[in-house]
Structure 1
Amino acid sequence: MESVGSGLVTIDWNQPRADVVLSRPEKRNAMTVPLMADLVTAFDRVDDAEDVRAATLLGEGPVFCAGMDLEMMRERVEPESSIDRDAFPEVLERIETLRQPVVAGIKRAAPAGAFELTLPCDFRILGREARYGLLEVQLGTFPHGGGTQRLPRLVGLSNAKSIVLTGEFVDPEAAHAMGLVHELCADDDVDDRAKAFADDLCANAPLGMERAKVALNAALELPLEQGLAYERQLAYGLDDTDDYREGFDARLEGRQPEFHGE
């Protein structure tokens, strides 16, 4: 287990999987500016690790994340503070642009900012008892860390309006039905299930996954014709890699492939 920066985030290296863990359990992993800076550093290190093929985002202790630290939010004085302008957006973009897929393990609580923290992740595993939702309209503001932009792209405009404008927690079964989360399980099993999900991803060809993630992230931003051209551009050259040959050889030989990212 490697401590990052100010020690509020740790990385558990389990190559080819890396577990990025919010490590402020005494405050239910509530986010502060130093914790967010540590998250960026942690994911930078994961991105640079050539032998890592998938990552998880977890919370130490019984709770995933309580959201933003309420004392920090109450005491900020700037109308547009560095939290909104720099710190939080940087974390979300760093997760979204990570070359490896990221699986969020959401247990017991992930309100407001913690909910938004999970949106740029590629997969979300949710505990059946988790309190998961965007509460900001009940606090005198509205979600502006991606809640009004990333969420409609995941669940559609009508579902997103229901989540944002009611300010209520989302029923886990409903979250699963609308495609917001990929799996439900007991809260005590969330971390293990997220790790197992990431391990399954690690069995796939890393170069293919990396380029597929780039193409998928661009899908809602590009017109179809441009998107198809971009997809083909990203695919060029993969059929000349060792992994491509290994994938077809393994399938024809009836065995599991051994990919090396080459």
Structure 2
Amino acid sequence: MESVGTGLAGIDRDGPRADVYLSRPEKRNAMTEDLMRDLTEAFETVSADEDVRAVALLGEGPVFCAGMDLHMMRNRVEEDSEIDRDVFPGLLEAIETARQPVVAGIKTAAPAGAFELTLPCDFRVIGSDATYGVIEVKLGTFPHGGATQRLPRLVGLSKAKELVLTGEFIDPEEALDCGLVHEVCDPDEVDDRARAFADRLCENAPLGLRNAKQALNTALETPLQQGLEYERSLGRELDDTRDYREGFEARIEERDPEFRGE
């Protein structure tokens, strides 16, 4: 695994798939400022790599992420705190705007900030025993790293209110039923299943994946006609590409396409 920044995040490459890791296993991958900065750098790196078609976001060791580092959060309430409050939103934006689809592998735990970390991912694979949810109302605050805005877009306003205002964890099977996650699997298979999900995406045309993600990400925030025009403009960008021709030729010739991202 290639370390990034201070070494609290890493990147592994396996063909067209990139695995991005939280790499602080001795602390259950609890997020510090340095870890969040490293993770942001990792996503910026893979997003700029035209050879990467899909990304798996994983936690090194037995836990995906225990949330924010408690010592960091305790220091945050001090009047002279120098904690940069823009680091976490910047990380979530880097995940959300990555050119490739991102699959989160949620094993063992993803509470509070770790839950919010998974929301800008495009897909979520979770272990059947995972502790998953936002608990901030039980801690004297509320989740304000994006959950009140992203969660309603994923599960609807009513379910989002239930999760945020009760501060209770959601059972993985219930998370699957409401569309919050895309697969529930054996706890020991989470990372492998997330990689396999990303590998499925890698079989598709990379330019098509990129433009489709851009169009989908604007769908709920754009008036219909404006969204349709944007969709068509993104489609026209691909009309003269080699992969577009290859896709149809492969279908006619009844063979697997060989996409190159060009």
TM interval, shorter chain, is over 0.9
Aligned length: 262
Q: Is the 8 A contact 1:84 1:145 kept in 2?
A: no
d(CA) in 2 for partners of 1:102, 1:133: 20
Q: Is the 8 A contact 1:205 1:261 kept in 2?
A: yes
User: Which amino acid letter does the alignment assign opposite residue 31 of structure 1?
Assistant: M
Residue matched to 2:76: 76
d(CA) in 2 for partners of 1:6, 1:49: 21
- After superposition, the C-alpha distances for 1:182-230 in whole angstroms (9 at most, x for unaligned) are 0000111000000010011001000011000000000011100100011
Q: Is the 8 A contact 1:96 1:121 kept in 2?
A: yes
Deviation at 1:81, TM superposition (A): 6.6
TM-score computed with the length of structure 1 as normaliser: 0.97
- After superposition, the C-alpha distances for 1:107-157 in whole angstroms (9 at most, x for unaligned) are 010000000000000000011000000000000000000010000000000
d(CA) in 1 for partners of 2:232, 2:150: 25
Residue matched to 2:147: 147
User: Which amino acid letter does the alignment assign opposite residue 23 of structure 2?
Assistant: S
Residue matched to 2:126: 126
Residue matched to 2:229: 229
d(CA) in 2 for partners of 1:10, 1:20: 6
d(CA) in 1 for partners of 2:143, 2:203: 36
d(CA) in 1 for partners of 2:236, 2:79: 47
Deviation at 1:237, TM superposition (A): 3.0
TM-score computed with the length of structure 2 as normaliser: 0.97
Matching of residue 21 in structure 1 with residue 21 in structure 2: yes
d(CA) in 1 for partners of 2:79, 2:235: 45
Q: Unpaired segments of 5 or more residues in structure 1?
A: none
Residue matched to 1:168: 168
Matching of residue 41 in structure 1 with residue 41 in structure 2: yes
Residue matched to 2:88: 88
Distance change (3 Å), C-alpha of 1:80 and 1:86: farther
Aligned-partner SS, 1:125:
strand
User: Which amino acid letter does the alignment assign opposite residue 107 of structure 2?
Assistant: K
d(CA) in 2 for partners of 1:172, 1:157: 19
Residue matched to 1:156: 156
CA RMSD of aligned residues (A): 1.3
d(CA) in 2 for partners of 1:9, 1:234: 33
Residue matched to 2:12: 12
Q: Is the 8 A contact 1:13 1:19 kept in 2?
A: yes
Aligned-partner SS, 1:192:
helix
d(CA) in 2 for partners of 1:170, 1:27: 23
Deviation at 1:15, TM superposition (A): 2.4
Aligned-partner SS, 1:11:
strand
Matching of residue 205 in structure 1 with residue 209 in structure 2: no
Deviation at 1:79, TM superposition (A): 6.7
d(CA) in 2 for partners of 1:115, 1:157: 17
Residue matched to 1:256: 256
User: Which amino acid letter does the alignment assign opposite residue 179 of structure 1?
Assistant: G
d(CA) in 2 for partners of 1:131, 1:81: 30
Residue matched to 2:112: 112
Identity among equivalent positions (%) equals: 73
Residue matched to 1:64: 64
User: Which amino acid letter does the alignment assign opposite residue 215 of structure 1?
Assistant: A
Q: Is the 8 A contact 2:75 2:81 kept in 1?
A: no
Q: Is the 8 A contact 1:108 1:130 kept in 2?
A: yes
Distance change (3 Å), C-alpha of 1:14 and 1:182: same
Distance change (3 Å), C-alpha of 1:32 and 1:243: same
Deviation at 1:85, TM superposition (A): 3.1
